[in-house]
Amino acid sequence: MLAILAPGQGAQREGFLSPWLSLAGVSEQLAELSDAAGIDLIAAGTTMSDAEITDTAIAQPLIVAASLMSAGQLQNLPRATVFAGHSVGEFAASALAGVLTPRDAVSLVATRGTAMAQASASPLGGMTAILGGDAGEVAAAIEAAGAYVANHNAKGQVVAAGTAESLERLAAAPPAGARLRPLAVAGAFHTDLMAPARAAIATAARNVTASDPVAGVVSNADGALVSSGTEMLDRLVAQVCAAVRWDLCMQTLGSIGVTATIELAPAGTLTALIRRELPDVTALALRTPEDLEGAAALIDEHGAELTDIGLPWQLLVAPARGTVSLVDATDGPLAAGDVVVRVTTHTEDLEVRAERAGHLVEWLVQDGDPVNAGQPLARVSAEVFA
């Protein structure tokens, strides 16, 4: 079975779109998506410098448009193809799965990029990759510094985010046995510091109609396969303040029988993670049109149909940093939409609901525990998504 992967911010590089413009229809498609974004994406991907396209407001729509464009060059994708994207790449994956139109996806991402850039201006923040170290000690060091866990990319690969001061404290007291690498982003993405951006995206999302996916689409929140378009759109809005669980996305790809992945342009980062975490999966990075021949061969070879792409459980995660309150009425059956746990932040009470009918399998926190955005709270048995 085949999975198509869409990369996140940081994958872009100067001039990466240039070789694609020789293909029929690409310039026209990018011009249309430029109109949706309000940005000249062709110029961004061909003549702008690396420094210019590091700007969040430009990088995000550019990456999503490039992924959609390169996906359009893939022929005869099997019906059971699964889609997944990292962070902003989840918008491209959602469009390819039929939840959003390409124009709506790029338009929303343009709003997202601008709003995140504005939210990053005050307080100044950033992100730091933490490679290696004990997982518990890494989490404790991040919390002690006053930062957040923003990405769980893979085993031994965590990204912390926070204010410049919190990241300085983390650098001064790093977890034992870990290497810290500051990332070239100008904001504390996927943390509560992005709350103003989440509000802006939520407003824009109200003007978008989401359709139920026609293919499997994997969520960054918990690695779940989402079957509701409305739910997927809600997750896209929430993810700007929630940790990216790419580790769980890869677990899902492995558990449902994915045998090959194709990472869309600008490709490379996710392919490296797949090769490390799922060594039995054939992984191809679609960097230039020269890679299309290899992609076509993979499509032919790994087009097995999927009869059951469900997980036996759903993982409920915290939508924001706060304090947990467990709901009493969880001993019996849960209906879709039942409140399982509440998270109280400094400003609001947030309800975490069962996405589908099932039973509580286990608590992963205790009543009154402090939690970070994206932290697992409970497992609930889930109906199969087919």
| Residue pair 138/230 in contact by the 8 Å Cβ criterion | no
Which sign does the torsion angle of CA 80, 376, 111, 55 carry? negative
Q: Residue 352, CB half-sphere, CA atoms under 13 Å: how many? A: 30
Q: Give the whole-angstrom CA distance, residue 108 versus residue 87.
A: 13
Tell me, yes or no, if 87 is annotated catalytic: yes
Tell me, yes or no, if 190 is annotated catalytic: yes
Element spanning 341, H or E: strand 339-344
| Total count of residues recorded for the chain | 386
Burial class (CB in 10 A: 0-12, 13-18, 19+), 283: buried
Q: Give the whole-angstrom CA distance, residue 242 versus residue 227.
A: 20
Catalytic entry in 86, 152, 190, 302: 190
Catalytic entry in 34, 67, 70, 87: 87
Judged by DSSP in three states, 208 sits in: coil
Residues noted as catalytic: 87, 190
